[in-house]
Amino acid sequence: MLDRIRASIPALPPAEQRVAKLVLLDPRSFTSLPVSELADRAHVSKPTVVRFCRSVGYDGLTDFKRKLAGSVNEGVPFVHRSVDEDDKPGDIIVKVIDNAVSALLKYRNDAANHAFERAIGALAEAGQSSHRIEFYGVGNSGIVAQDAQHKFFRLGVNTTAVSDGHVQVMSATMLKPGDCAVIISNSGHSRDLVAVAEIARKKGATTIVITASGSPLAQLGQAHNQILLAVDHPEDYDRYSPMVSRLLHLVVIDILTTAVALRMPGELRPMLQEIKKNLRAKRYMRAD
């Protein structure tokens, strides 16, 4: 909701722009203050506050406040940022899905195309020249690394997923120029992964870092011959289970897999077709 308000500012009249900026400055206070005080703080009339709410797609101030309160609440700590303790199953379905869709659409608009182009090029070159592609992650990010390895090994490339910190160190130490290390982290503060990224860099491998911008790991991803695929989201990794972050990381892996597959040699597609054919043989036959 705040992203939508921010995007609508250029199209609003100057007075309504001041109301929008007041909302963005302190959305929680906006939900509780009376219209007279909101008007005073924005230096507009009370009808202007109501007109702003309608301009951005709501029925009025009451409807706007109610939905804004639901958008900026703190959720249930250590469970999910978008739900409330007393939510019914139907409410949870809508909130969890809306939260995920909103994060995905925001990432679509924010993703840096040039960084993806560099990452896709490095991975495709490594795959075509039989160099190694290693995926590193710990905890929940280790599961994403396993998903990445599962997708990439079907492309016929030399790939492994490693989630144990000691094995990551050994694996990174054996990397060479032309190899790729894909390092996945929600917070970007994992000591193990920061250390592994540094080892991979010193060995001359290309590191592709999927993490939050501004984190220690992201800073390594901005060094020479390194690639940062920044993934930012509203989840506080100290307060909530990683849900949206996991979905965003999986989407990044899907983008990389799809683009690399399109750049691989022509004989790849017949092999993928044969894999699908052989997998069908493992299914239960349907009764006629």
Q: In this structure, is residue 93 part of a structural domain?
A: no
What pLDDT is stored for residue 281 in this prediction? 79
Q: Which domain holds residue 214?
A: 112-278
One domain for residues 167 and 262: yes
Count the alpha carbons within 13 Å of 63 in the hemisphere toward its beta carbon.
Answer: 11
What per-residue confidence (pLDDT) applies to 74? 59
Q: Do 174 and 57 belong to one domain? A: no
Inside any domain, residue 173: yes
- Length, in residues, of the chain: 288
| DSSP, residue by residue, 5-18 | HHHHGGGS-HHHHH
**Domain membership flag for residue 226:** yes
pLDDT digits (tens, 9 = 90+) for 159-192: 999 999 999 999 999 999 999 999 999 889 899 9
Helix/strand/coil (H, E, C) string of 31-77?
A: HHCCHHHHHHHHCCCHHHHHHHHHHCCCCCHHHHHHHHHHHHCCCEC
pTM for this entry: 0.71
Considering the domain architecture, whether residues 166 and 271 belong to the same structural domain is answered as yes
User: Which CATH number belongs to the domain containing residue 26 in this structure?
Assistant: 1.10.10.10
Q: Are 17 and 141 in the same domain?
A: no
Residues 6+ apart with CB under 8 A from 66: none
Residue 256: inside a domain, yes or no?
A: yes
Which of the pair, 198 or 241, is modelled with greater confidence?
Answer: 198
Same domain, 43 and 127: no
pLDDT of residue 192: 92
Tell whether 216 and 268 lie within a shared domain: yes
For residue 207, what is the domain's CATH number? 3.40.50.10490
Q: Which of 72, 104, 131 is the last residue of a domain?
A: 72
DSSP H helical ranges for the chain: 2-8, 14-25, 27-32, 35-42, 46-55, 61-72, 89-110, 113-128, 140-153, 165-173, 191-202, 216-221, 244-263, 268-280
Cβ atoms of residues 177 and 205 within 8 Å = yes
Is residue 62 domain-shared with residue 156, that is, in the same domain?
no
Measured between alpha carbons, how far apart are the two ends of the chain, in Å? 50
Number of domains observed in the structure of the chain:
2
| pLDDT above 90 as % of the chain | 44
- Closest Cα to residue 148, out of 220, 232, 255, 272? 255
Same domain, 192 and 268: yes
Gap between the Cα atoms of 272 and 125, Å rounded: 19
pLDDT band at 234 (very low <50, low <70, confident <90, very high): low
Strand segments (E) across 143-188:
158-162, 180-184
Task: Give yes or no: residues 135 and 219 share one domain.
Answer: yes
209 in Cβ contact with 183 (< 8 Å): yes
Res 81 pLDDT > 80 = no
Model pLDDT for residues 111-127, shown as the tens digit of each residue: 888 899 999 999 999 99
Q: Quick one: average pLDDT of 15-34? A: 88
Q: Are residues 147 and 215 in the same domain?
A: yes
Res 147 pLDDT > 70: yes
> Is 87 a member of any domain?
no
Residue 171 · residue 131 · CB < 8 Å? no
